[in-house]
Amino acid sequence: MTDRFALRVEGLNVHYGDFQAIWNVSIELLEGRLVSIIGANGSGKSTLLNTITGLLTPSSGSIEFFGKKINGLAAFETMPLGISLVPEGRRVFPRLTVYENLFIGSYPPRVRSRRDKVMGEVYELFPVLEGRHDQMANTLSGGEQQMLAIGRALMSEPKLMLFDEVSLGLAPLVIKDIYRRLEQINVKGITILLVEQDVKRSLKAASFAYILLEGKVVLQGKASSLNEEQVKKAYFGI
Protein backbone atom coordinates (compact mmCIF):
# COMPACT_ATOMS: atom_id res chain seq x y z
CA MET A 1 0.00 0.00 0.00
CA THR A 2 1.13 3.54 -0.73
CA ASP A 3 -0.12 7.03 0.01
CA ARG A 4 -0.09 7.93 -3.69
CA PHE A 5 -3.43 8.74 -5.29
CA ALA A 6 -4.31 6.50 -8.23
CA LEU A 7 -7.45 8.53 -8.95
CA ARG A 8 -8.71 11.93 -7.85
CA VAL A 9 -12.05 13.27 -9.04
CA GLU A 10 -12.89 16.82 -7.95
CA GLY A 11 -16.07 18.83 -8.44
CA LEU A 12 -17.32 16.64 -11.27
CA ASN A 13 -20.52 17.63 -13.08
CA VAL A 14 -21.97 15.56 -15.92
CA HIS A 15 -24.99 16.29 -18.14
CA TYR A 16 -27.07 14.36 -20.62
CA GLY A 17 -28.35 17.31 -22.62
CA ASP A 18 -30.29 19.46 -20.16
CA PHE A 19 -30.40 16.72 -17.53
CA GLN A 20 -27.66 16.81 -14.88
CA ALA A 21 -26.71 13.29 -13.78
CA ILE A 22 -23.66 14.05 -11.59
CA TRP A 23 -23.50 16.99 -9.19
CA ASN A 24 -20.16 18.26 -7.88
CA VAL A 25 -18.85 14.76 -7.09
CA SER A 26 -15.40 14.36 -5.54
CA ILE A 27 -13.79 10.98 -4.80
CA GLU A 28 -10.24 9.78 -4.10
CA LEU A 29 -8.60 6.37 -4.43
CA LEU A 30 -5.20 5.61 -2.95
CA GLU A 31 -3.05 3.28 -5.02
CA GLY A 32 -3.66 -0.39 -4.24
CA ARG A 33 -6.94 0.14 -2.39
CA LEU A 34 -10.41 -1.20 -3.09
CA VAL A 35 -13.01 1.56 -2.84
CA SER A 36 -16.74 1.05 -3.20
CA ILE A 37 -19.44 3.31 -4.60
CA ILE A 38 -22.89 2.31 -3.41
CA GLY A 39 -26.21 3.55 -4.70
CA ALA A 40 -29.59 2.60 -6.06
CA ASN A 41 -30.50 2.49 -9.75
CA GLY A 42 -30.36 5.98 -11.22
CA SER A 43 -28.01 7.33 -8.56
CA GLY A 44 -25.30 8.14 -11.11
CA LYS A 45 -22.88 5.27 -10.44
CA SER A 46 -22.49 4.08 -14.04
CA THR A 47 -22.37 7.67 -15.30
CA LEU A 48 -19.46 8.33 -12.96
CA LEU A 49 -17.52 5.28 -14.18
CA ASN A 50 -18.24 6.07 -17.83
CA THR A 51 -16.96 9.61 -17.33
CA ILE A 52 -13.75 8.43 -15.66
CA THR A 53 -13.05 6.05 -18.54
CA GLY A 54 -13.79 8.67 -21.21
CA LEU A 55 -17.04 7.25 -22.54
CA LEU A 56 -18.71 10.46 -21.38
CA THR A 57 -17.34 14.01 -21.26
CA PRO A 58 -17.78 15.98 -18.03
CA SER A 59 -19.38 19.42 -18.09
CA SER A 60 -16.88 20.61 -15.49
CA GLY A 61 -14.56 19.33 -12.81
CA SER A 62 -11.25 17.51 -12.78
CA ILE A 63 -10.21 13.85 -13.14
CA GLU A 64 -6.59 12.94 -12.35
CA PHE A 65 -5.00 9.52 -12.87
CA PHE A 66 -1.70 9.26 -10.99
CA GLY A 67 -1.42 13.05 -11.13
CA LYS A 68 -2.18 13.35 -14.86
CA LYS A 69 -5.37 15.17 -15.88
CA ILE A 70 -7.46 12.89 -18.07
CA ASN A 71 -10.83 14.68 -18.25
CA GLY A 72 -11.66 15.08 -21.89
CA LEU A 73 -9.70 12.02 -23.01
CA ALA A 74 -11.66 9.35 -24.91
CA ALA A 75 -11.85 5.73 -23.78
CA PHE A 76 -9.31 4.57 -26.37
CA GLU A 77 -6.89 7.07 -24.79
CA THR A 78 -7.49 6.22 -21.11
CA MET A 79 -7.18 2.45 -21.58
CA PRO A 80 -3.51 2.54 -22.67
CA LEU A 81 -2.78 4.69 -19.59
CA GLY A 82 -3.88 1.78 -17.40
CA ILE A 83 -7.62 2.21 -16.77
CA SER A 84 -9.88 -0.75 -17.47
CA LEU A 85 -13.67 -1.08 -17.15
CA VAL A 86 -15.69 -4.22 -16.47
CA PRO A 87 -19.09 -2.93 -17.66
CA GLU A 88 -22.52 -3.62 -16.25
CA GLY A 89 -24.07 -6.63 -17.96
CA ARG A 90 -20.61 -8.01 -18.88
CA ARG A 91 -20.91 -7.10 -22.59
CA VAL A 92 -18.62 -9.80 -23.89
CA PHE A 93 -18.48 -10.26 -27.66
CA PRO A 94 -21.04 -13.07 -27.99
CA ARG A 95 -19.98 -14.51 -31.35
CA LEU A 96 -16.27 -14.53 -30.57
CA THR A 97 -14.51 -17.27 -28.63
CA VAL A 98 -13.17 -16.91 -25.12
CA TYR A 99 -9.65 -16.62 -26.55
CA GLU A 100 -10.70 -13.95 -29.05
CA ASN A 101 -12.44 -11.91 -26.34
CA LEU A 102 -9.29 -11.99 -24.23
CA PHE A 103 -7.09 -11.21 -27.23
CA ILE A 104 -9.09 -8.03 -27.90
CA GLY A 105 -8.39 -6.92 -24.33
CA SER A 106 -4.67 -6.67 -25.09
CA TYR A 107 -5.24 -3.63 -27.31
CA PRO A 108 -2.61 -1.26 -25.80
CA PRO A 109 0.71 -1.49 -27.67
CA ARG A 110 2.66 -1.68 -24.40
CA VAL A 111 1.17 -5.09 -23.54
CA ARG A 112 1.08 -6.80 -26.94
CA SER A 113 4.51 -8.35 -26.54
CA ARG A 114 3.41 -9.88 -23.21
CA ARG A 115 0.01 -11.04 -24.44
CA ASP A 116 0.64 -14.78 -23.95
CA LYS A 117 2.06 -14.25 -20.46
CA VAL A 118 -0.87 -12.11 -19.36
CA MET A 119 -3.37 -14.55 -20.86
CA GLY A 120 -1.70 -17.32 -18.89
CA GLU A 121 -2.20 -15.27 -15.71
CA VAL A 122 -5.89 -14.79 -16.58
CA TYR A 123 -6.29 -18.55 -17.09
CA GLU A 124 -4.57 -19.13 -13.76
CA LEU A 125 -7.07 -16.81 -12.06
CA PHE A 126 -10.03 -18.30 -13.95
CA PRO A 127 -9.14 -21.92 -14.91
CA VAL A 128 -12.62 -22.51 -16.32
CA LEU A 129 -11.85 -20.04 -19.12
CA GLU A 130 -8.80 -21.99 -20.24
CA GLY A 131 -10.94 -25.10 -20.61
CA ARG A 132 -13.37 -23.12 -22.78
CA HIS A 133 -10.87 -21.06 -24.78
CA ASP A 134 -12.35 -22.18 -28.14
CA GLN A 135 -15.96 -21.85 -26.95
CA MET A 136 -18.22 -19.03 -28.15
CA ALA A 137 -18.82 -16.46 -25.42
CA ASN A 138 -22.61 -16.61 -25.85
CA THR A 139 -22.59 -20.27 -24.81
CA LEU A 140 -21.04 -19.52 -21.39
CA SER A 141 -23.05 -19.26 -18.20
CA GLY A 142 -23.62 -15.83 -16.64
CA GLY A 143 -20.87 -16.40 -14.10
CA GLU A 144 -18.43 -17.55 -16.76
CA GLN A 145 -19.24 -14.51 -18.89
CA GLN A 146 -18.49 -12.30 -15.89
CA MET A 147 -15.16 -14.05 -15.46
CA LEU A 148 -14.47 -13.47 -19.15
CA ALA A 149 -15.33 -9.77 -18.85
CA ILE A 150 -12.93 -9.46 -15.90
CA GLY A 151 -10.27 -11.45 -17.74
CA ARG A 152 -10.63 -9.24 -20.81
CA ALA A 153 -10.14 -6.15 -18.63
CA LEU A 154 -7.03 -7.70 -17.05
CA MET A 155 -5.48 -8.32 -20.47
CA SER A 156 -4.53 -4.62 -20.74
CA GLU A 157 -2.46 -4.90 -17.52
CA PRO A 158 -4.42 -2.10 -15.81
CA LYS A 159 -3.31 -0.06 -12.82
CA LEU A 160 -6.95 0.81 -12.06
CA MET A 161 -9.99 -1.42 -12.64
CA LEU A 162 -13.55 -0.14 -12.54
CA PHE A 163 -16.25 -2.73 -11.85
CA ASP A 164 -19.87 -1.83 -12.64
CA GLU A 165 -22.41 -4.05 -10.83
CA VAL A 166 -20.20 -7.13 -10.88
CA SER A 167 -22.74 -9.29 -9.02
CA LEU A 168 -25.81 -8.33 -11.07
CA GLY A 169 -27.92 -11.34 -12.08
CA LEU A 170 -25.56 -13.94 -10.63
CA ALA A 171 -26.26 -16.73 -8.15
CA PRO A 172 -25.01 -16.23 -4.55
CA LEU A 173 -22.29 -18.89 -4.80
CA VAL A 174 -21.02 -17.38 -8.05
CA ILE A 175 -21.00 -13.89 -6.50
CA LYS A 176 -18.98 -15.19 -3.56
CA ASP A 177 -16.44 -16.69 -5.95
CA ILE A 178 -16.22 -13.51 -8.05
CA TYR A 179 -15.54 -11.43 -4.94
CA ARG A 180 -12.80 -13.84 -3.93
CA ARG A 181 -11.15 -13.24 -7.31
CA LEU A 182 -11.48 -9.47 -6.84
CA GLU A 183 -9.53 -9.79 -3.61
CA GLN A 184 -6.82 -11.71 -5.47
CA ILE A 185 -6.64 -9.00 -8.13
CA ASN A 186 -6.42 -6.27 -5.48
CA VAL A 187 -3.67 -8.13 -3.58
CA LYS A 188 -1.55 -7.94 -6.75
CA GLY A 189 -1.55 -4.16 -6.35
CA ILE A 190 -4.30 -3.24 -8.82
CA THR A 191 -6.46 -0.39 -7.53
CA ILE A 192 -10.19 -1.17 -7.70
CA LEU A 193 -13.25 1.08 -7.85
CA LEU A 194 -16.27 -1.12 -7.26
CA VAL A 195 -19.80 0.04 -8.05
CA GLU A 196 -22.51 -2.01 -6.36
CA GLN A 197 -26.06 -2.01 -5.04
CA ASP A 198 -25.21 -4.76 -2.53
CA VAL A 199 -24.50 -2.69 0.60
CA LYS A 200 -23.32 -5.45 2.92
CA ARG A 201 -20.98 -7.12 0.46
CA SER A 202 -19.55 -3.80 -0.74
CA LEU A 203 -18.71 -2.60 2.75
CA LYS A 204 -17.07 -5.92 3.58
CA ALA A 205 -14.83 -5.82 0.50
CA ALA A 206 -13.86 -2.14 0.55
CA SER A 207 -11.50 -0.03 2.64
CA PHE A 208 -13.47 3.14 1.89
CA ALA A 209 -16.98 3.77 0.56
CA TYR A 210 -18.97 6.54 -1.08
CA ILE A 211 -22.78 6.54 -1.19
CA LEU A 212 -24.42 8.25 -4.16
CA LEU A 213 -27.99 9.53 -4.24
CA GLU A 214 -29.42 11.36 -7.25
CA GLY A 215 -25.94 12.10 -8.58
CA LYS A 216 -24.53 13.47 -5.33
CA VAL A 217 -22.21 12.01 -2.68
CA VAL A 218 -24.38 11.95 0.45
CA LEU A 219 -22.15 9.85 2.71
CA GLN A 220 -18.54 8.72 2.74
CA GLY A 221 -16.06 7.16 5.10
CA LYS A 222 -13.95 4.16 5.99
CA ALA A 223 -16.02 1.09 5.21
CA SER A 224 -15.34 -0.36 8.66
CA SER A 225 -16.81 2.76 10.32
CA LEU A 226 -20.02 2.85 8.25
CA ASN A 227 -22.73 0.59 9.62
CA GLU A 228 -25.26 -0.95 7.28
CA GLU A 229 -28.22 0.98 8.74
CA GLN A 230 -26.42 4.30 8.32
CA VAL A 231 -25.61 3.49 4.71
CA LYS A 232 -29.14 2.34 3.90
CA LYS A 233 -30.58 5.63 5.20
CA ALA A 234 -28.25 7.56 2.91
CA TYR A 235 -28.92 5.06 0.07
CA PHE A 236 -32.67 5.71 0.19
CA GLY A 237 -32.42 9.40 1.18
CA ILE A 238 -34.28 9.04 4.47
Mean predicted confidence (pLDDT) in 115-136:
92
Residue 84: per-residue pLDDT = 94
pLDDT band, very low/low/confident/very high, at 114 (cuts 50, 70, 90): confident
- Helix (H), strand (E), coil (C) string for the chain: CCCCEEEEEEEEEEEECCEEEEEEEEEEEECCCEEEEECCCCCCHHHHHHHHHCCCCCCEEEEEECCEECCCCCHHHHCCCCEEEECCCCCCCCCCEHHHHHHHHCCCHHHHCCHHHHHHHHHHHCHHHHHCCCCEHHHCCHHHHHHHHHHHHHCCCCCEEEEECCCCCCCHHHHHHHHHHHHHHHHCCCEEEEEECCHHHHHHHCCEEEEEECCEEEEEEEHHHCCHHHHHHHHHCC
Please tell me the least confidently modeled range out of 7-16, 25-34, 84-93: 84-93
| Confidence check: pLDDT of 1 > 60 | no
